[in-house]
A and B are shown apart, each in its own frame.
Chain A
Amino acid sequence: MSVLGRIFLVAKREYKHHAQSKGFWLTMVAVPVIAALAGLIPQWVQENKPARAFTVIDQSGGAILADIDATIAADNAKRALAALKDYAADNIPPESVPMLSPMAPARGDITADDVAVFQAWGGVEKAKELLPKLVREGAPAFNPPGPRFVRVEPPPEVDPAADPAAIGTALSPYLRAEKPIAQTAPAYLSSALIVPQDYVLTRPTTAIQYWTTNINDFDLQTLVERALTAEAQRAMYEEQGMSRDAVAAIEQRRVALQPFSPDKQESGGEVEMKDRLLNIVPLGLALLLWMSIFTVANLLLLGVIEERSNKLIEVLLSSVSAEEFMAGKLLGIAGIGLTILVAWLTVGLIIMINGSGPTVAFAHDAINLILSGPYIPAFAFYFVVGYLTIASVFLGLGSVCNSQQEAQSLLTPLIFVLMLPFFLLMPMLEDPNGPIATTAGWIPVYTPFVMMVRLSTNPPWTEVVATGAVTLFFSILVLWAMARLFKSAILRTGQPPRLIEMWRMMRRGS
């Protein structure tokens, strides 16, 4: 049997062994699912918060109460409009969506103006009337989201003219959910606003009191504060002699900076939303690279410790050389790593493509970018060098340790060093040509992750080649040193060697 034959046999056993473990399947499926859930759950929670009841006692005359009611109505309409646009994107063939209708896809955030137009157009009622004629066959019915906030009348025993502190006291059993405020949901009072008698929006002497037990829920507070601030500003402009229309026109005015990028010279340099989003793709790839390498490097460590501690290694070493054994293990586990990577990408894309609206478009753009750019060969190269370096270090460490505990103490400082690119990724995304990124690109262990991100900014090719060569050389050096360590340490018994002894083993061999 040839050297390659033996390496292949070891690799095959290694691959089979791990591919049959539960952990492998868990890692393959659970990681993307958890990642997707982590992204979706907060949104889902936000969208599905139950309606919260609040009450307003306006001692100042009723104008502020009217403002608040208008604000809540606009909030409901805005949510309905957003839901309508999502629903339309999923269920109406694009050519059937009238361009200027509220059902057209959003261009940026939904503004107060969009909401006003939607309400003037006829709102949810009009949408419900039109939709059945437009949707695809078999589309589900449009279900606009319920309100976030429902204003209820204060309980009858509360005297609306009383001192605000006394009102607060009278409301406290309701706010503490000891007494229901209504027969139907939302049955309990979540907050109460008390506008004092002498309160003037433009020149407040006291504050509007916001009573609640949920002091970490800022949703209503923020909504009302924003609306009343805008209202106060409008009133003050009017006091200066401006007409309401003039103020509205001023409020409409927005100054925007149009981003341009020299990388997009051919298309006039304008940066689109798409371009910005797609800068994130290499970052995602770098993260993926990092996670997959670490997941499997750890398998190597645990595997070698097992073979060492149950003395299997000696049987194996009578059949294969230490180098062949190491090569086989590296190869087999690389196979596991690639399988996990492909699974993550596949599951991730399936989730994105089955998502709604913008994620689908993003997934398509991401795939196109990956296929068109240098990313696939770069990813392959960086996977190989990154994996060789990190995996062979883990393998070398495994060869000197008798137990996971022993490995842990050696591994902790190492992990810390290897974690660094993970923390550098965000600053690098903001400034991929800055000093952090350009310097880190030359540090062999970090090169694969850093250069993966830098690739999206078209760094000079000399730099790409030179950093690649340095890191390749370094990974071969590490592999060579670890093979020597492995060879002289794997049959040792007793305490793991001290660092200085390991250094000697690497230099002298066995």
Chain B
Amino acid sequence: MSTGESAISFREVGKSYGDFRAVEGLSFNVAPGSIYGFLGPNGAGKTTSLRMMLGMIAPSTGEISVLGSPSAMGVRERVGYLPEERGLYRRMTPLETIVYLARLKGMDAAPARKKALELLERFGLAAFAKSRIEALSKGMAQKVQILATIVHAPDLVILDEPFSGLDPVNQQVLEELVEDLRREGRTVLFSTHVMQHAERLCDRLLLIARGKLAFEGTLDEARDRMPQTIKLTTSADAADLAALPGVVKVAADPVHAGSYELTMKNGADGENLLRSCFERGLQLTGFDMSEPALHDIFVALVGEGAEVADSRGTAP
């Protein structure tokens, strides 16, 4: 993929604070019009990467390109950013705030005002448009800030932990908003801890741990990295189960006697397993073959990434 086609491109980007390497050798591309998830545990370097993306802090090494420009500052009017820590002028109203930020992004006063009112209306804040921010709840203020992020119809929207602090209904509203943005052809990149959102929304994911890339690809590619597990309830014993084709590991449920979790060889087929059970006359009372959740992938990959960082981090 060449840089020109990407909405965002990182080439071996690193950021050091003194001796501490917050981000190291990070490379990835975000395709225009896609939703891109930026995942990682606390302190992994997500916010640092996003700030570099926005040109707010300069990378120590590597190259960044945003919408074809070497710095997001050059294309800031086409970028919308929701920072991780939220804050607004407490004495301004939502309407004033959105209009002000829209105007900083180059909109004229009248269209900015019209668009702001439209957005406030659509997101159920019309009644509060002219009350001071300090009179709003935290979640409402956060919605105002999200609206201010998208009011100028940016081509690229960067959201740092957009879902935290919102109730389930508003999380749903935000998910729909993100999907709307994609439908309009905009690129969305967001960071999160909450895997369900990434699972539902993202075309591609990036997993970062201790400043290093742990995974980059689609959800399916992530799943392929994970061995399939199958839960069984049976009267057969563990030895019989271990003898089945494709089974790598059998773990007995310590609480429910007769319940087992089988770990399958990569590429092994669940249906084959079921057929083998019938052929061998094993009595099954339960069979559960769900796809691995992103959560498990996350835990598995971050664990892996952490080990990588440990083993390399000690020897400079």
Q: Which residue of B lies closest to A20 (CB)?
A: B91
Question: Beyond A9-B104, A17-B91, A311-B87, is A319–B76 a contact (Cβ under 8 Å)?
Answer: yes
Question: Beyond A1-B104, A6-B104, A311-B83, is A318–B88 a contact (Cβ under 8 Å)?
Answer: no
Q: Mark B33-71, 1 if CB is under 8 A from A, else 0.
A: 000000000000000000100101110000000000000
Q: Which residue of A lies closest to B133 (CB)?
A: A310
Question: Beyond A310-B87, A315-B81, A315-B87, is A491–B106 a contact (Cβ under 8 Å)?
Answer: no
| B101 partner residues in chain A, CB cutoff 8 A | 315, 319
Say yes or no for A352: interface residue by CB 8 A criterion. Answer: no
Q: How many residues of chain B are within 8 Å of chain A by beta carbon?
A: 29
Most buried by B among A6, A315, A317: A315
| Shortest Cβ distance from residue B142 to the other chain A in the assembled complex, whole angstroms | 12
- Tell me the bound Cα distance from A318 to B71 in angstroms: 11
- Tell me the bound Cα distance from A321 to B104 in angstroms: 11
Q: Which residue of B lies closest to A314 (CB)?
A: B83
Say yes or no for A139: interface residue by CB 8 A criterion. Answer: no
Please state if A318 and B56 are interface contacts (CB–CB under 8 Å). yes
- Which residues 295-345 of A sit at the B interface, judged by CB distance below 8 A? 307, 310-312, 314-321
| A6 partner residues in chain B, CB cutoff 8 A | 104
| B58 partner residues in chain A, CB cutoff 8 A | 510
Q: Which residue of A lies closest to B109 (CB)?
A: A9
Q: Mark B103-125, 1 if CB is under 8 A from A, else 0.
A: 11110000000000000000000
- Tell me the bound Cα distance from A213 to B211 in angstroms: 81
Please state if A9 and B88 are interface contacts (CB–CB under 8 Å). no
Say yes or no for A13: interface residue by CB 8 A criterion. Answer: yes
- Tell me the bound Cα distance from A6 to B73 in angstroms: 13
Say yes or no for B86: interface residue by CB 8 A criterion. Answer: yes
Please state if B89 and A316 are interface contacts (CB–CB under 8 Å). no
Say yes or no for B28: interface residue by CB 8 A criterion. Answer: no
Contact of A9 among B83, B86, B91, B103 (CB under 8 A): B103
Q: Which residue of A lies closest to B58 (CB)?
A: A510
Please state if A321 and B145 are interface contacts (CB–CB under 8 Å). no
| A318 partner residues in chain B, CB cutoff 8 A | 54, 56, 72, 76, 79, 81, 83
Please state if B77 and A312 are interface contacts (CB–CB under 8 Å). no
Please state if B56 and A314 are interface contacts (CB–CB under 8 Å). yes
- Tell me the bound Cα distance from A324 to B150 in angstroms: 22
| Shortest Cβ distance from residue B305 to the other chain A in the assembled complex, whole angstroms | 25
- Tell me the bound Cα distance from A13 to B82 in angstroms: 21
- Tell me the bound Cα distance from A6 to B101 in angstroms: 10
Please state if A17 and B105 are interface contacts (CB–CB under 8 Å). no
- Tell me the bound Cα distance from A307 to B89 in angstroms: 8
Q: How many residues of chain A are within 8 Å of chain B by beta carbon?
A: 22
Say yes or no for B207: interface residue by CB 8 A criterion. Answer: no
Please state if B106 and A1 are interface contacts (CB–CB under 8 Å). yes
| Shortest Cβ distance from residue A188 to the other chain B in the assembled complex, whole angstroms | 55
Say yes or no for B100: interface residue by CB 8 A criterion. Answer: yes
Please state if B56 and A312 are interface contacts (CB–CB under 8 Å). no
- Tell me the bound Cα distance from A316 to B92 in angstroms: 15
Question: Beyond A6-B104, A315-B81, A319-B101, is A510–B57 a contact (Cβ under 8 Å)?
Answer: yes
Say yes or no for B148: interface residue by CB 8 A criterion. Answer: yes
Say yes or no for B183: interface residue by CB 8 A criterion. Answer: no
Contact of B86 among A311, A316, A491 (CB under 8 A): A311
- Tell me the bound Cα distance from A357 to B92 in angstroms: 48
- Tell me the bound Cα distance from A310 to B90 in angstroms: 9
| A21 partner residues in chain B, CB cutoff 8 A | 91
Question: Beyond A1-B77, A9-B104, A491-B51, is A317–B87 a contact (Cβ under 8 Å)?
Answer: no
| Shortest Cβ distance from residue B76 to the other chain A in the assembled complex, whole angstroms | 6
- Tell me the bound Cα distance from A318 to B100 in angstroms: 13
| A311 partner residues in chain B, CB cutoff 8 A | 83, 85-87
Q: Which residue of A lies closest to B145 (CB)?
A: A315
| B89 partner residues in chain A, CB cutoff 8 A | 17, 312
| A491 partner residues in chain B, CB cutoff 8 A | 51, 56-57
Q: Which residue of A lies closest to B54 (CB)?
A: A318
Most buried by A among B56, B57, B58, B105: B56
Contact of A312 among B87, B103, B104, B106 (CB under 8 A): B87
| B76 partner residues in chain A, CB cutoff 8 A | 318-319
| A315 partner residues in chain B, CB cutoff 8 A | 81-83, 87, 101, 145, 148
| B85 partner residues in chain A, CB cutoff 8 A | 311, 314
| Shortest Cβ distance from residue B175 to the other chain A in the assembled complex, whole angstroms | 22
Please state if A13 and B100 are interface contacts (CB–CB under 8 Å). yes
| Shortest Cβ distance from residue B232 to the other chain A in the assembled complex, whole angstroms | 50
- Tell me the bound Cα distance from A311 to B82 in angstroms: 11
Question: Beyond A310-B88, A312-B89, is A317–B56 a contact (Cβ under 8 Å)?
Answer: yes
| B81 partner residues in chain A, CB cutoff 8 A | 314-315, 318
| Shortest Cβ distance from residue A147 to the other chain B in the assembled complex, whole angstroms | 57
**What are 19 A-B residue pairs whose CB atoms fall within 8 Å in the complex?**
A1-B106, A9-B104, A13-B100, A17-B89, A20-B91, A21-B91, A307-B87, A310-B88, A312-B87, A312-B89, A315-B82, A315-B83, A315-B87, A315-B145, A315-B148, A317-B56, A318-B56, A318-B83, A319-B104
10 closest A-B pairs by beta carbon, nearest first, are A310-B87, A311-B85, A311-B87, A314-B83, A318-B81, A1-B106, A319-B104, A312-B87, A318-B54, A317-B56
Q: Which residues of A line the B interface, CB within 8 A?
A: 1, 6, 9-10, 13, 17, 20-21, 307, 310-312, 314-321, 491, 510
Q: A1-B105, A311-B86, A314-B85 are in contact. List 10 more A-B contacts (CB 8 A).
A: A6-B104, A9-B100, A17-B91, A312-B89, A315-B101, A318-B54, A318-B56, A318-B76, A319-B76, A491-B56
